[in-house]
Structure 1
Amino acid sequence: MSTQRAGVGFAATDRFEGEIEAAARSDSALKSGYVLLGDETFLYERCRRAVLKAFVPDDLREFCLSDMDLAQHSIFEILDRARTPSLMAPFQVVFIRNLKQLYTRGAKKDEFAEIDRYFRSPNPQALLLFVADHLRIPADPRRMDMEDKNKFERIRETLGDHCTMVELARVEDTDAMRWVTITALAQETKVDPDAARELVDALGSDMMLIASELEKLLLFSYGRGRITLGDVETMVLSAKQRSLYELTDAISAKDRPRALALLHGLLNSSDAGEDAAIGHLYMLARTFRQMLVILEKNVRDSRAIWQALWQGFRMPPFAADDLIRQARRYKSRRDLTRALRLIARADLELRSSPPDKRLVLERLIYDLTGETRSYGNLYVSPQLSFES
């Protein structure tokens, strides 16, 4: 898939890629560390690919690339590895995941002192990349959640003097559409404007999903050189989005037989079969989160829904009225938080490699369409996320 430039939504990633490419050509000095801030997986993967292309030859990958998790390795161990030259490779690249571990359970004064010591005399043959994917940065940073904003400032205060901050913010709709158009043109295919709009709206500006679906559309339209609105409706909306909202409609109506039939239809129509279960669960969780916001903000018509749901968290226009109707079937916030709790439990079970993924999802449908049980005063945030 092409990585052509496409608008201001990609600006931070473009700058990062430019710095890495220039350093690889020895046109500029390489910085010792970067912090990749944000949970936009598509942009993170672009940054990672740029680093691997520049500094990690395929034949030396196992000797010069380290992926280390702060939940499993201490920062002392990680920095010791960065200081130690490799006998097999001239350069070291270290991706440091789970950065949030440095900001929990205590002040971590010794850890930050060690980071300060390292960057005062860094290994010039090593590049450290801290991954802060526990933050969500919206397309408009002014709308960042206060908790995320506080975490962001804490990282800036502790690592900002040593590392360059790369903000991987959510992509604006217009930038996502521009990316679709440019990427398709690189494959000698034109995307009709209404098709690009529908693709972006249908997938809520989720760039990972957009990139995946665009690749399928390019294959579907191969030889024609054009992607139309009808192609998007055939390949994306009818197969995934509409079936998903039909499923949540059956769940909210407590229609268990129809919900089970729709679930089986989703699994049978998916190229990955049961292996797509986590992806279906992610979309189900997202839809229930949307319903929770709709119920809490007392949204009654589709005109108000765009103020209630932030960019990147909106449903496609065709589903707005249906989702409002579904949300109003739930009598209280507790009913929807119960549903999210059940989905979270199923997500955990799926990630534990159960012998039968279909059975996990069927049991979830039974629970979601059953009688509501009290879980006390548990509140599940509308921004609770499940990984795809």
Structure 2
Amino acid sequence: MGQLVIISGDDEFTVKERARAVARELAGGEIEENPAVEIIAGDGEELKPDEVIARFLDALRTPPFLCDSKLVWLRHLRDLELFSAREPGDGVAGVLEILTQPLPPELSVLIDGGGLDQRKSFCKTVKSAGAAVEIFNAVKATDRRFADGRKESLREICGSLGKSLEPAAAQFLTETIGGDSGMLRNELEKLCSYVGDAAVITLADCREVCSRTPETVSWEFTGAIVGRDRPRALRLLDIMLRQGEPEIRLMYALSGEFQKLIQTRLAMKQLKLTRVTPRTFDSLPESLKKEFPDNPLLKLHPFRAFKTCEGAAGFTDAELAGNLEAVRNASRALVSGGGEPRIILEQLVLRLTARR
């Protein structure tokens, strides 16, 4: 029996990478200029979906020529929902007739693209017919284990490139790149080229090399505010405004940062921590961990917990409350149109980075 493999998911980079790897496996080597491989491009602009399906159907019906078997690859189809239509067109109906039955031994089929719904009949039927279905979804920042999963991916990619990441660099990449696997690998490859023979990628390397996306600049901006680095904060504010970053989103980021610092100070008081060192969270007594299992600091990587406490320790309780109030007042001014946005934001930066 021939093989049918369907690869889908919303992580476009991983889906395409995996599809190419499977195509090589099924073809027994190279894909391009291989007479045993017929590729139907599903993402071209020149063909409409029904025309793509018609070509795919023709390829499925055409026997191998000058070879014992062949692979038909429907490559990067934009929406696999075509195969789940309630009233499929003639082309789709013909494809379904072939794919929902065991394939002949001389034919292997590979389909990749987005939009496959595993709950619908198409997916269930092809699985029953022996299809292998692989789903790759991007990790979402709202997922409960987003940070852990992202850091594991970072370690795996860095290991394959012969490098390691210092904890602060891993945190930076986790918080600024999000779930885009393609961007993640691209940034790590740039970093590996930048550090050369160095075995470890540092936070400073990330700041020098990583793309100046709104996420990375925003991350650095809030860090500069917490570190009371006024010149850097003003430079980064200018970059974000030139990038078109919405002012209200900046307010949201700053408000969230100061709320997090307030929560950190409360968590430190619960654990009776007045001062922290890089080794503090490695040496906490087990009795304390059992007494406060829900303490947010105990759920962080020890180094990340240390850096979070270090940032919070730079402010008194009164300063944190005052800074949060200043952010809220600036937000009201922006919403009400009570002044020039750049002036409001620059004045806020001066207020938040003042040394007291």
* TM-score normalized by the length of structure 1: 0.48
Q: Secondary structure at the match of 2:74?
A: strand
Q: Is the 8 A contact 2:38 2:72 kept in 1?
A: yes
Q: State yes or no: 1:94 paired with 2:73.
A: yes
Match of 1:46 in 2: 17
C-alpha separation in 2, matches of 1:235 and 1:107: 51
List aligned pairs for 1:47-62, cutoff 5 A.
47-54=18-25, 55=27, 57-58=30-31, 60-61=33-34
CA contact (8 A) 1:32 1:124 kept: no
Q: Which residue of 1 aligns with 2:137?
A: 169
The offset of 1:102, in angstroms, is 1.7
1:79, distance to aligned residue in structure 2 (A): 2.4
For 2:87, the equivalent position in structure 1 comes to: 107
Inter-partner Cα distance in structure 2 for 1:78 and 1:60: 18
Judging changes above 3 Å, is the alpha-carbon distance between structure 1 residues 173 and 72 closer, same or farther for their aligned structure 2 residues? farther
Give the superposition deviation at 1:61: 4.0
Structure 2 runs not aligned, ≥5 long: 43-47, 140-145, 222-234, 261-307, 312-323, 337-341, 343-356
Q: Which residue in the other structure is 2:354 paired with?
A: none
TM-score (normalised: structure 2): 0.52
Match of 2:51 in 1: 73
Q: How far off its partner does 1:76 sit?
A: 4.6
Pairing of 1:1-388 with structure 2 (within 5 A): 31-34=3-6, 36-54=7-25, 55=27, 57-58=30-31, 60-61=33-34, 64-69=37-42, 71-73=49-51, 75-87=53-65, 90-96=69-75, 97-100=77-80, 102=82, 107-108=87-88, 110=90, 113-119=93-99, 120-134=101-115, 151-154=117-120, 155-157=122-124, 159-162=126-129, 163-171=131-139, 172-236=146-210, 241-243=215-217, 262=239, 303=260
Structure 2 letter corresponding to 1:83: R
**Identity score, percent:** 17
Unaligned runs of 5+ in 1: 1-28, 136-150, 248-257, 267-283, 304-316, 333-368, 370-388
Distance in 1 between the 2:125 and 2:33 partners?
33
Q: 1:245 and 1:186, CA in 2 relative to 1: closer, same or farther beyond 3 A?
A: closer
Q: Residue deviations 1:224-253, cap 9 Å, x none?
A: 221112211222276764557899xxxxxx
- Report the equivalent of 2:317: none
Contact 2:2 2:102 in 1 (8 A): no
Q: Structure 1 residues 77 and 184 mapped into 2: Cα distance closer, same or farther (>3 Å)?
A: closer
| 8 A Cα contact 2:10 2:136, kept in partner | yes
Task: Provide Cα deviations, 1:293-324, integer angstroms capped at 9, x if missing partner.
Answer: x79xx989755xxxxxxxxxxxxx99xx9xx9
Q: Larger deviation: 90-99 or 237-246?
A: 237-246
The structural deviation recorded for 1:118 is: 0.9
CA distance in structure 2 between the partners assigned to 1:68 and 1:177 by the alignment: 34
- Count matched residues: 242
Counterpart secondary structure, 2:133: strand
For residues 320-367 of structure 1, the C-alpha deviation after alignment (integer angstroms, 9 at most, x for no partner) is x9xx979878869xxxxxxxxxxxxxxxxxxxxxxxxxxxxxxxxxxx
User: Structure 2: how far apart are the matches of 1:111 and 1:327?
Assistant: 56
Residue 209 of structure 1 aligns with an amino acid whose one-letter code is M
Contact 1:64 1:86 in 2 (8 A): no
For residues 237 and 68 of structure 1, do their structure 2 counterparts lie closer, same or farther at Cα, with a shift above 3 Å needed? closer
Shift of residue 263, structure 1, vs aligned partner = 8.6
Query: Corresponding residue for 2:290?
Result: none
Change (3 A) 1:64 1:217: same
How far apart in 2 are the matches of 1:329 and 1:165? 53
Q: Is the 8 A contact 2:23 2:110 kept in 1?
A: no
Does the Cα contact within 8 Å between 1:246 and 1:262 map onto a contact in 2?
no
CA distance in 2, matches of 1:153, 1:81: 28
CA RMSD in angstroms comes to 4.8
Alpha-carbon distance, 1:262 to partner: 4.6
Please tell me whether the aligned partners of residues 195 and 232 of structure 1 are also in contact (alpha carbons under 8 angstroms).
Answer: yes
The match for 1:24 is none
